[in-house]
A and B are shown apart, each in its own frame.
Chain A
Amino acid sequence: MILTAIVFLPLLAALVTMLLPKEDKVLLRNFGVASTSLIFLFSLLLLWKFDGRVGGMQPSLSVNLAWLQSLGIRYQMGVDGISLFLVLLTTFLTPIAILGAGGSVTKRHREFVAAMLVLETGMLGAFVALDMVLFYVFWELMLVPMYLLIGIWGGERRIYAAIKFVIYTMVGSVLMLVAIIYLYLRFHELTGQWTFSLLEWNRMVLTPKEQLLCFGAFALSFAIKVPIFPLHTWLPDAHVEAPTPGSVILAGVLLKMGTYGILRFAMPLFPYAATKLAPYLAILGIVGIIYGALLAYAQKDAKKLIAYSSISHLGFVILGLMSLTIQGTQGAIYIMIAHGITSAGLFLGFGILYDRRHTRLMSEYGGIWKVMPTYSALYMIIMLGSVGLPGLCGFIGEFLVLLGAYDHQAFVAFQSGPVMLSHPKLMTSIAALGVIFSALYLLVMFQRIFFGPVKHEVNQDLPDATGVELGALVPLVVLVFVLGLVPSPLLRRMEPSVKLHLAQFVAKQKASEEIAKADIRKAFVLPRAVLDAAALKDPSGMKAHKMQKGKKFPELGMRRGRSARTRGTTPVDHPQGPAVNEAAGAREPSRQGRRGARGAAQPGGAPQPFNTITPMDLPRGLRLGQKRRLEQEVRYQKRPPLDPKAAQGGR
């Protein structure tokens, strides 16, 4: 209920704005700020209700209602440690963005406030949705108000920027939509169940090829949103042309939608592909760190500079996510939040200056500290937070990401590969050099705008920040300090969820590895118990990962309870009849004996219900021709793929 209220209250408020007078700027602004602030306060309830000791979706906060029952689409939402703070970030930044609109919004005030409110609903919904259709609806819902924000209230090239933004994002979303539909059909094929629920889909282990394709579709969609180099060129245009609140929301929240999507959807659904592609994505992240920083350094336009700095920072997030370690993932989430605060602050702060001078060129400023000391001091703190000064918010995430990436699990797979790929330490070291560049471009910007003599007469008597502007800036500055000095309340609440997330990722990844190793083109669905067990057995998630090499996927042993029963008794309907059964029986003793011993040794090892096929049921080393024939036979006879024995072939 709380989630529903948080997500849809902004929409309600947007409807209420329609009753307000059209051009009463102050009233509309106040209404917008007041309503979103109330929503923020209300969203703090989440923090109170949140149980930081357990990972996964909080049961007390989840919603799961029927929506379009015939299609299996449900109204399913939930919050865990990963999304909690992104939700809070969104509700926190929206009032600040509306408050900071200042002089950048000069017309259609009612529509502006309404657009911001609708945007908030879209963002919140996307962060909490667990049904893929619901997610997609919110995902696309965000586009509309953002498009309007850039297109109506933007700068000179606003139409170009808005269209570029929308088309770019749409290209990615369409691919994602295709992948979603494919997964929907595939899940039905495997289980006979029509559902869009992410939690159900998470059990699905697809074949390597499917994973790579679907991951590609999802990742492309999210990579555009992040944006990952080289899909970033919409970002500077959108940022430069967007009005201040648009930039604030865009940099503060929308970009995180991409990294959140990778973490929430792309990685757990396609762990095999994620692991295989992780080094490449990590390298793209590292390229982004350095490239974004150098590009930022080369800009003359302050807003463009900040936009490119986002590319650099989000490179760290990608690196962290792709490190597949707890530290890396937590660090990545932390950077998302910290960057949400600092980039919002940088845009908001520059917006204050822009309102006074209406130019984005840094050369038009200089010596601003002399005329606007309070504003400059606050801006400097935000700038330093963005630089990643230890003790301020930017550092924690970067440090954790680097720590995690140094232990880069995914790179292990490339030990025999090219030098660059097989050296997480070397790669991470390059990423660490990003800290030099981040200081470089931000200090250069700061010097050009704030230090030196007052070069232009116009700047001589600019008024210092007003009360409203301070009201928008000061909360951000406070958070820059708080997040830097006491990160543990956040990290503590994230940790169980991240651990669970990684443990399940590892469990699924290993199951996928089994498929890949056996070279069987067969997907299957893991029992929920396996994912739960993965988390229980290995709360850190790391143990399973270390075992990856040379050992079988231990959790799959869970299925033996039933298969041991069925193997002996159930007659198997197979075209080649008894021969196959004999073959299966022939290799039974050794395997079953081993497993049985292990199963017995396991305390409380009650057999888990298991009704799906696993790669264990499939013989290894099938010869080419036999295998191909086998597949055809399965197809011709319309054998339901769920039958455990369907795919067994004789020798």
Chain B
Amino acid sequence: MPHTAKFPLFLIPLLPFLGAAISLIFGRRMRRQSVHLVAVGSVVAACTVALIAIFGHLLGDVSLWSLRANWLMTGGEGAPRLVDAAYTWIASGSVSIPVGFVLDPLAAVMVLVVTFVGALIHIYSCGYMAGDKDYARYFGYLNLFTGAMLILVLADNLPLLFVGWEGVGLCSYLLIGFWYGKDENATAGKKAFIVNRIGDAGFLLGMLLLWAAAGTLTFSELTNPDIQAALIHKTWQLFPQAQDFTSPGKVSFLIELRPVELICVFLFVGAVGKSAQIPLYVWLPDAMAGPTPVSALIHAATMVTAGVYMVARMNMLYSLAPNILIFVAFIGAATAIFAAFIAFSQNDIKKVLAYSTVSQLGFMFAALGTGSYAAAIFHLAAHAFFKACLFMDAGVVIHALGGEQDIRAMGGLRRKLPVAHWTFLVSCLAIAGIPLFAGFFSKDMILLGTLANTFEKQAGTTMLTAGAMRTVGWILYLMLTTASMMTAFYMFRLYGLTFLGEPRTDSRVLAELHRPSSSMRWPLVVLALGATLVGVLGAPTLFAGSDGAGWLFLAGALVTAAVLVWMAFFWASDIEEEAGRDSSYVQWGLIKGPLLGAAAVMVFVGIWAAAGKSFIKIWPAAGKSFIKIWPANWLGEWLKPSLSSWPIVQVKPEFASKANPFVASHGAEAWTMALAVLLSLASIAAALWLYRKGPNQTLANLVATLRPVYKASLNKGWIDELYHLIIVRPVNFSAWLLRVAVDEFLIDKCLVTGAAWAVSVFGWISVQLQTGRVRQYIAAALVGLAVLIFLTTRSISTFDVQVSGSQVLVTAGVKGDQVLGVPEGRYRTKVGYDFNGDGKVDTWTLRPSQVVTWTYDKPGQHRIRMVVQDPRFGKKTSTEKVVTVGAGR
């Protein structure tokens, strides 16, 4: 049983919400400094509370010497979780949804990313938004966003998660449309919200299905083996009527679904919407209409990762649905490639980064789909650092050039904006997967995950055979490797066009370049540092575990350190060049110090890793403690309790072994890694060679050769146009048609007004009849009387025959006689029956409803005739029926 403790976790989201409330309500009357203080302060405070929770409780006893928890190495059992239940939110019948929070390692990673990166972006925004009129509103929204995101990651049940889920969508809407004065921005915001809502509808359906199938929406209860068994075994028939079409016992996948599969699909639809995957990614590139820090925070670092987090959080369900996991993986891999393809030719600096984000999220989903939840979260955390950094660099560039976003009009900014340049370069290296930068480890973990043999073990639980699963793994690997190669290319294309070569900017703009203020520079450096060092947390077993491989790691660390030192000194020379122009701008130590520090850490960690195993031979105790302190895949181990220690149902043990996908041989690990690095380096070299001097003849020739491909990439695959054609226009048209044809014409004109018209026509006719001539009235009355008499005295008879054996029971029903209420006797309608077919009535009855019984001697067909004698007119009417009588008893 995981150890659970109480902690006032509600404070973590509450603080930003309070900040938002203050900024939004009183903001217009507050001074800028106070707004800063409230906005940044609330997020920093939330971060502090989170750190206290994590380090004070979640990590157990933390000593300075060994930064580890008691349970850290063991993973699994004994993993503490912090819980908090504020109050019951919704309660109705058997539904009870508390405002409950839970902080486990998974949530802890997310909380740290959100509050830490969030705080940096808040600080950055102080500089970026300095000139804006609606300053307080901006910070209010940003705080609101942080709060919603924290609700999302801390929630202990799906509906509460949904509050954050929609909350971040709302803030995204508000912030994209922050400069609402332009219609395009407002439209982009609306588009984001609506596309997200499509996903949210899927999410809602997933929740409803889960409720219907499991009866609970709380995460910790979903690990209950009984509930999991119910989710697996019970099948829902999509179309019970269609069962006839399938042979019994063999029901096709489409007809019968296990609930868990359906639930996972619908939840994934939500994730697709929020995390901008195919086919709902279209909103994210348009979302770049918002202020750049917003793009960094919401559309790169946090909100868009919510889908990844949610799937990881629901891993106990996804692990039960391997079919769906394969689907998730392919959607992710396809998105990774497709978005990278579009990013090749985009000319807006933010659009390139946006598509890059979509692509990287695709990587994360591919990781989730192969069961490497930890790799996805690792990549998420690393991505948060380098992508936020990239966006904020882009923000510095845009800010400096007075709003210019077209990279064709940039170039040569290396010297002008050194801090942005170097941090951008570090982040590019990280995203391209250059060894020992953050992206290298996380991407490698994802690639390896596709090939890890645990993925094959799912065979048998899916539709696929073992061989097919192996093929699936290989296909995914190839797709992701291609995507990662493409990533390196387009990122360095961006880097080359923006920072290298000669300036192509208008010289006037260049002359009055807006220098980033210090509040904009500091966060960049911190993020770049993060992008460098975060990867070490998840360094795989190859580097840390095996004998001798630690030395390889040391070599890598030395190379990285060398790169960082090189950067630091080159930057220094840039600074010196700049110093002559604007000495106030120069802060020598700003980057140089941290880069040197990062280099030192790299070297230290490298030595540590290398020393670890080697020490064991010389000095076992020390060697072991070395390895303990910095184990392989530290992050993965830490996340384990959240991601795999859920007591997975034992029905199909194959799922359970998905816990640690990193059991591939070190050989495979080494060659995948080497290949990835080689391909990345090749891509970088190609990109730099092509783009280092800005647009040139070689490029023009290349584009001319690949014209159709280039066009497709430039026009984003015409997907927006396609959606417009097949979704937007039909919806608009059908709405219009409903209004004009159905509502206004059919219902209102024809039926409603028509009814009124019919009444008035009736009234008109009545008026015409009202002539005032007594003769006409009398004539009408007489006719009416005649009709009335005829109707009420008419004998309408029914004739029921029941056969039992040789016996016949006959009943007649005569209406006319009932209406008049004539007493029995002479004047009453008589009913007679002729059973033997001799033409004469055999039995007369005065009570028509009386049952008359007749027994036949011989079986066979007999003709029964009923005669009704009407006393008023002496008229006889007869009806005949043929019955078949059986033998007597």
Chain A contacts to B: CB under 8 angstroms: 164, 167-168, 230, 232-234, 291, 294-295, 297-299, 325-327, 330-331, 367, 369-370, 373, 377, 384, 389-391, 396, 399-400, 402-403, 406-407, 415, 419, 422, 425, 428-429, 432-433, 435-436, 439-440, 443-444, 447, 450-453, 485-488, 491-492, 495, 499, 540, 542, 623-626, 628-629, 632
Within 8 A of A (CB), among B743-780: 743, 747-748, 751-752, 756
The answer to whether A492 touches B91, judged by C-beta atoms less than 8 angstroms apart, is yes
A297 lies within 8 A of B735 (CB): yes
Evaluate contact between A406 and B212: CB separation under 8 angstroms. yes
Contacting pair B204 A444 (CB below 8 A): no
Contact present for A444 and B190 (CB under 8 Å): yes
**A230, B751: Cβ atoms closer than 8 Å:** yes
* Contact, CB under 8 Å: A488 / B91: yes
Which residues does chain A contribute within 8 Å of B93, judged by CB atoms?
325-327, 330, 495, 499, 540, 542
What separation, in Å, do the CA atoms of A453 and B185 have in the docked complex? 11
Q: What's the least CB distance linking A44 to chain B, in Å? A: 22
Minimum CB–CB distance from A504 to chain B (whole Å) comes to: 16
Residue B49 lies at the interface, judged by CB distance under 8 Å to chain A? no
Which residues on the A side are within 8 Å of B731 (C-beta)? 294, 297, 440
Structural contact, A295 and B743, CB atoms closer than 8 A:
yes
A509–B576 Cα distance when bound, in Å, is: 89
The answer to whether B88 has its CB under 8 Å from any CB of chain A is yes
Query: A233 near B748 (CB under 8 angstroms)?
Result: yes
Which B residue sits closest to A633, measured CB to CB? B849
Please, how many angstroms separate the alpha-carbon atoms of A435 and B200 in the complex? 9
Q: A291-B738, A419-B241, A491-B92 are in contact. Are A390 and B177 (CB under 8 A)?
A: no
The answer on a CB contact under 8 Å between A327 and B201 is: no
**CB <8 Å contact, B167 and A400:** no
Q: Tell me, in angstroms, the Cα distance from A625 to B94 when the chains sit together.
A: 50
Q: For B91, what are the chain A residues with a Cβ–Cβ distance below 8 Å?
A: 488, 491-492, 495
CA distance A605 to B673 in the complex (A): 78
The answer, yes or no, to whether B802 is at the interface (CB within 8 Å) is yes
* B: number of interface residues (CB 8 Å): 64
Inside 8 A of A291's CB, which chain B residues have their CB?
Answer: 738
Complex formed: what's the CA distance from A452 to B800 in Å? 78
Q: Are B194 and A432 in contact (CB under 8 A)?
A: no
A245 vs B174: C-alpha distance when bound (angstroms): 30
B735 touches A439 (CB 8 A): no
Q: Which of B93, B190, B204, B850 has the most CB of A within 10 A?
A: B93
With contacts A233-B748, A295-B735, A391-B167 taken as known, whether A626 is within 8 angstroms of B851 at the C-beta atoms is: yes
B180:A295 contact, CB within 8 angstroms: no
Is B510's beta carbon under 8 Å from chain A? no
> Are B205 and A432 within 8 A (Cβ)?
yes
Instruction: From the candidates B87, B90, B241, B756, name the one contacting A400 in the complex (CB within 8 A).
Output: B90
What is the interface of chain A mostly: helix, strand, loop, or mixed?
helix
A429 CA / B205 CA spacing, docked (Å): 7
B89 at the interface (CB under 8 A from A): yes
A-B contact pairs, 29 of them (CB 8 A): A233-B752, A295-B739, A326-B92, A327-B92, A330-B93, A369-B180, A384-B170, A389-B167, A389-B170, A391-B166, A399-B90, A406-B209, A425-B236, A433-B201, A435-B201, A439-B194, A440-B194, A440-B197, A440-B731, A443-B194, A451-B180, A451-B183, A452-B183, A491-B91, A492-B91, A495-B91, A624-B800, A625-B802, A625-B809
CB within 8 Å for A406 and B211 given contacts A399-B159, A439-B197: yes
Taken together as a complex, chains A and B put the C-alpha atoms of A510 and B748 apart, in Å, by 40
Chain B residue nearest to A405 in the complex (CB): B208
Question: For the complex, is B186 an interface residue (Cβ under 8 Å from A)?
Answer: yes
Flag if A447 contacts B190 (CB, 8 Å): yes
A459 vs chain B, min Cβ distance (A): 13
The answer to the question of B874 belonging to the interface, with a C-beta cut-off of 8 Å to chain A, is: no
Per-residue contact bits, chain B 158-181, to A (CB 8 Å; 1 contact, 0 not): 010011011100100100010011
B182 at the interface (CB under 8 A from A): yes
Closest 10 CB pairs of A and B: A326-B93, A451-B186, A298-B735, A298-B739, A451-B180, A390-B163, A625-B811, A233-B748, A452-B183, A294-B735
A99 to B177 CA separation, bound complex (whole angstroms): 33
B734 at the interface (CB under 8 A from A): yes
Contact, CB under 8 Å: B212 / A453: no
**Which residue from chain B places its CB closest to the CB of A367 in the assembled complex?**
B181
Chain A residue numbers with a CB within 8 Å of B211 are 403, 406
Would A436 and B198 be within 8 Å (CB), given that A429-B205, A491-B91, A625-B811 are in contact? Answer: yes
A629 touches B851 (CB 8 A): yes
Answer whether residue B570 sits at the interface, using C-beta atoms and an 8 A cutoff. Answer: no
Residues of B within 8 A of A167 (CB): 756
Contacts of A373 in B (CB 8 A): 28
Chain A CB count within 10 A is highest, among B182, B731, B752, for B752
Name the B residues within 8 Å of A400 (CB-CB).
Answer: 90, 92, 95
Q: Is B187 an interface residue (CB 8 A)?
A: yes
Contact B208 A402 (CB under 8 A): yes
Residue ID in chain B nearest A290 by CB atoms: B738
> Among B167, B186, B204, B811, which residue has its beta carbon within 8 angstroms of that of A624?
B811
Q: Which of B186, B736, B850 has the most CB of A within 10 A?
A: B186
Instruction: For the A-B complex with A367-B180, A451-B180 known, give 7 more contacts whose Cβ atoms are closer than 8 Å.
Output: A233-B752, A425-B212, A440-B197, A447-B187, A451-B185, A495-B92, A628-B811
Chain B residues with Cβ below 8 Å from A370 are: 180-181
Interface contact A486-B87, CB-CB below 8 Å: yes
Nearest B-chain residue to A327, judged by Cβ: B92
Contact partners of B162 in chain A: CB under 8 A: 390
Check: B309 CB closer than 8 A to any chain A CB.
no
Contacts of B94 in A (CB 8 A): 326, 540
In the complex, chain A residues whose CB is within 8 Å of the CB of B205: 429, 432
B90 touches A487 (CB 8 A): yes
- Name B28's closest neighbour in chain A (CB-CB): A373
Report Cα–Cα, A298/B194, bound state, in Å.
16
> A295 touching B748 by the CB < 8 A rule?
no
The answer to whether A432 and B208 have CB atoms under 8 Å apart is yes
- Chain B residues 471-520 with CB under 8 Å of chain A are none
Point out the residues of chain B lying under 8 angstroms from A628, CB to CB. 811, 813, 849
A390 and B166 contact, CB distance less than 8 A: yes
The answer on a CB contact under 8 Å between B92 and A436 is: no
For the complex, is B248 an interface residue (Cβ under 8 Å from A)?
Answer: no
Distance in angstroms between the alpha carbons of A444 and B190 in the assembled complex: 8
A294, B738: Cβ atoms under 8 Å?
A: yes
CB distance from A242 to the nearest CB of B (A): 18
Whether the pair A330, B849 counts as a contact (CB closer than 8 A) is no
How long is the Cα–Cα vector from A629 to B851 in the complex, in angstroms?
Answer: 9
- Give Cα distance in the complex from A367 to B743, angstroms: 31
State whether the Cβ of B24 lies closer than 8 Å to any Cβ in chain A. yes
Chain B, range 224-273, C-beta contacts under 8 Å to A: 236, 239-241
Q: Are B194 and A625 in contact (CB under 8 A)?
A: no
Could you say which residues of chain A place their CB within 8 Å of the CB of B739? 295, 298-299
Chain A residue contacts of B735, Cβ below 8 A: 294-295, 297-298
Question: For residue A454, which residue of chain B has the nearest CB?
Answer: B181
Select which of B159, B183, B186 is within 8 A of A390 by beta carbon: B159
Task: Decide yes or no: A432 and B201 within 8 Å by CB, A294-B735, A330-B93, A487-B89 being known contacts.
Answer: yes
B193 within 8 A of A: yes
Q: A298-B739, A491-B91 are in contact. Are A443 and B190 (CB under 8 A)?
A: yes
Q: In the bound complex, what is the Cα–Cα distance between A542 and B215 (angstroms)? A: 15
Q: Which residues of B have CB within 8 Å of A629?
A: 849-851
Instruction: Assess the B800–A331 pair: CB atoms within 8 A.
Output: no
B752 CB contacts on chain A under 8 angstroms: 164, 168, 233-234
How far apart sit A399 and B802, CA to CA, in the bound complex (Å)?
56
Cross-chain contact B748 with A436 (CB below 8 angstroms): no
